[in-house]
Chains A and B, each alone.
Chain A
Amino acid sequence: MSIELNARIPEGPIERKWERAKFEMKLVNPANKRKHSVIVVGSGLAGASAAATMSELGYRVKCFCFQDSPRRAHSIAAQGGINAAKNYQNDGDSVFRLFYDTVKGGDFRAREANVYRLAEISVQIIDQAVAQGVPFAREYGGLLDNRSFGGAQVSRTFYARGQTGQQLLLGAYQALEKEINAGGVTMFPRTEMLDLVVVDGRARGIITRNLVTGAVESHAADAVVLASGGYGNVFFLSTNAKGSNCTAIWRAHKRGAAFANPCYTQIHPTCIPVSGDHQSKLTLMSESLRNDGRVWVPKQKGDQRPPNQIPVEERDYYLERRYPSFGNLVPRDVASRNAKEQCDSGHGVGPGGYGVYLDFRDAISRLGEARIRERYGNLFEMYQRITDEDPYHVPMRIYPAVHYTMGGLWVDYNLMSTIPGLHVIGEANFSDHGANRLGASALMQGLADGYFVIPLTIGNYLAQGGLTPVTEEHPAFAVARAGVEARTARLLATRGSRTVDSFHRELGQLMWNKCGMARTAEGLREALDEIPRLREQYWRDVNVPGSGDSLNQSLEKAGRVADHFELAELMCRDALHREESCGGHFRVEHQTPDGEALRDDEAFAYVAAWEHRGDDAEPVLHREPLAFEQVHLTQRSYK
Chain B
Amino acid sequence: MNLTLRVWRQPGPSVPGRLERYEAADISPDMSFLEMLDVVNEQLAVAGQEPIAFDHDCREGICGMCSLMINGVAHGPMKGTATCQLHMRSFTDGDEILIEPFRAGAFPVLRDLCVDRTALDRVIQAGGFISARTGAAPDGNATPVAKVDADRAMDAAACIGCGACVAACPNGSASLFTAAKVSHLGLLPQGQPERLRRVLRMVDQMDQEGFGGCTLYGECMEACPKEISIDFITRMNGDYLRASLSAGEPRT
Assess whether B137 is in contact with A135, with CB atoms less than 8 Å apart.
no
Please tell me if A429 contacts chain B, counting CB pairs below 8 Å.
Answer: no
B39 within 8 A of A: yes
**Residues of chain A with a CB closer than 8 A to B190's CB:** 130-133
Is the C-beta of B68 less than 8 angstroms from some C-beta in chain A? no
Q: Which residue of the partner chain B has the closest CB to A126? A: B140
Q: Can you name the residue of chain B whose Cβ is closest to the Cβ of A547?
A: B50
Per the 8 Å Cβ criterion, residues 213-265 of A in contact with B are 239, 241-243
- Among B141-157, those with CB < 8 Å from A are 141, 143-147, 150-151, 153-154, 157
* Beta-carbon contact of B150 and A180 below 8 Å: no
- In this complex, what residue of A is CB-closest to B190? A133
Q: Is the CB of A553 within 8 A of B51?
A: yes
Stretch touching chain B among A200-208, A274-282, A419-427, A517-525: A274-282
Beyond A77-B60, A181-B126, A386-B87, whether A133 also contacts B188 by CB under 8 A is yes
- Chain B interface extent, by class: 35 or more
Which of the candidate stretches A67-75, A469-477, A533-541 sits at the interface with the other chain? Answer: A67-75
A616 within 8 A of partner (CB) = no
Contact of A177 with B42 at beta-carbon distance under 8 Å, contacts A77-B63, A131-B136, A135-B150 already known:
no
| A385 engages B87 (CB within 8 Å) | yes
14 A–B contacts from the bound complex (CB under 8 Å)? A49-B134, A69-B161, A70-B121, A77-B60, A88-B141, A130-B140, A131-B130, A133-B190, A142-B146, A175-B129, A189-B118, A276-B31, A280-B35, A551-B111
Q: When A and B form their complex, which 5 residue pairs have the shortest distance between CB atoms, in order from nearest?
A: A142-B144, A131-B137, A174-B129, A131-B132, A127-B137
Contact in complex: A502, B65 (CB < 8 Å): no
Check B233 for interface membership: any CB of A closer than 8 A: no
Contacts of A543 in B (CB 8 A): 45-46, 48
Chain B hits for A512, CB < 8 A:
none
Residues of B within 8 Å of A460, CB to CB, are none
Give 1 or 0 for each of B122-140: 1 = CB within 8 Å of chain A CB.
0011101111111111111
Greatest chain A CB density within 10 A among B56, B89, B126 is at: B56
Interchain nearest-CB distance for A296 vs B (Å): 24
A195 vs chain B, min Cβ distance (A): 23
Closest B residue to A549 using CB positions = B12
Contact A177 B121 (CB under 8 A): yes
Beta-carbon contact of A56 and B53 below 8 Å: no
Complex: chain A residue closest to B112, CB-CB: A551
B12 to A, closest residue via Cβ: A550
Which of A69, A137, A175 contacts B120, CB < 8 Å?
A69
Known contacts A139-B147, A241-B57; decide if A76 and B137 are in contact (CB<8 Å): no
Tell me whether A553 and B53 are in contact in the complex, defined as CB-CB below 8 angstroms, given that A76-B62, A133-B185 are known contacts. Answer: yes
Q: How far is the CA of A267 from the CA of B81 in the complex (A)?
A: 27
Write the chain B residue with the least CB distance to A497: B46
Please give 13 more A-B residue pairs, beta carbons under 8 A apart, in addition to A56-B133, A137-B150: A68-B118, A69-B161, A72-B57, A133-B153, A138-B151, A161-B154, A178-B131, A279-B35, A280-B38, A451-B134, A499-B45, A546-B51, A553-B53
**Please, which residues of chain A bring their CB within 8 A of the CB of B157?**
135, 160, 167, 170
Q: Is the C-beta of B178 less than 8 angstroms from some C-beta in chain A?
A: no
List the A side residues contacting B83 at CB < 8 Å. none
Q: Check if A53 sits within 8 Å of B57, measured CB to CB.
A: no
How many cross-chain pairs have Cβ atoms below 8 Å apart between A and B?
A: 227
Q: Does A513 contact B (CB under 8 A)?
A: no
B110 shortest CB reach to chain A, Å: 6
Q: Does A455 make an interface contact (CB < 8 A)?
A: yes
B184 within 8 A of A: yes
List B contacts of A499 (CB < 8 A).
Answer: 42, 45-46
Q: Is the CB of A545 within 8 A of B129?
A: no
A67 to B57, CA, bound (A): 8
**Contact flag A56-B121 (CB < 8 Å), given A71-B64, A76-B63:** no
Nearest CB on A from B174, distance (A) = 14
Query: Which residue in A135, A144, A452 is a CB contact (below 8 Å) of B188?
Result: A135
A212 to B111: give the CA distance in the assembly, Å: 9
Number of interface residues of A (CB under 8 A): 83
Q: Are A174 and B139 in contact (CB under 8 A)?
A: no
Residues of chain B from 23 to 79 with CB closer than 8 A to chain A in the complex? 28, 30-32, 34-35, 38-39, 42, 44-46, 48-51, 53, 55-65, 78
A149 at the interface (CB under 8 A from B): no
On whether the beta carbons of B38 and A71 are closer than 8 Å, the reply is no
Closest chain A CB from B113 CB (angstroms): 11
The answer to whether A69 and B117 have CB atoms under 8 Å apart is yes
Report A408-457 residues with CB < 8 Å from chain B CB.
451-452, 455
* A68 vs B124: C-alpha distance when bound (angstroms): 14
Cα–Cα, bound, A135→B190 (Å): 10
Residues of chain A with a CB closer than 8 A to B138's CB: 127, 131
For A239, the closest partner residue in chain B by CB is B60
Q: Give the complex CA separation of A180 and B131 in angstroms.
A: 13
Note all chain A residues with C-beta closer than 8 A to B117.
68-69
- Residues A76 and B58 in contact in the complex (CB < 8 Å), given A126-B140, A177-B129: yes
Is the pair B57, A243 in contact by a Cβ cutoff of 8 Å? yes
B residues in contact with A280, CB < 8 Å: 32, 34-35, 38, 59
Residue of B60, B128, B158 with highest tally of chain A CB at under 10 A? B60
Q: For A53, list chain B residues within 8 Å (CB).
A: 134
Per-residue interface assignment for chain A, residues 21 to 54, with 1 indicating a CB less than 8 Å from any chain B CB and 0 otherwise? 0000000000000000000000000000100110
Chain B residues with CB below 8 A from A56, complex form: 133-134
**The residue from A138, A243, A455 contacting B147, defined by CB atoms under 8 A apart:** A138
A163 CB within 8 Å of chain B: yes
Of all chain B residues, which has the CB nearest A546? B50
Cross-chain contact A133 with B130 (CB below 8 angstroms): yes
CA distance A198 to B65 in the complex (A): 33
Q: Complex Cα distance A278/B40, Å?
A: 11
| Complexed CA–CA distance, A187 and B121 (Å) | 11
**Is the CB of B11 closer than 8 A to any CB of chain A?**
yes
Which residues from chain B contact A405 at a C-beta distance below 8 Å? none
- List B contacts of A170 (CB < 8 A): 157
Q: Are B158 and A132 in contact (CB under 8 A)?
A: no
* Cβ contacts A159-198/B at 8 Å (1 or 0 each): 0110100110010011101101100000101000000000
Bound together, the chains give a CA A386 to CA B30 distance in angstroms of: 8
Kindly supply a per-residue 1/0 record for chain A positions 558-580, scoring 1 wherever the CB is within 8 Å of any chain B CB and 0 otherwise. 00000000000000000000000
Residue of A nearest to B155 (CB): A135
Chain B residue with the shortest CB-CB distance to A57:
B134
Asked if B20 lies at the interface with its beta carbon under 8 angstroms from chain A, I say no
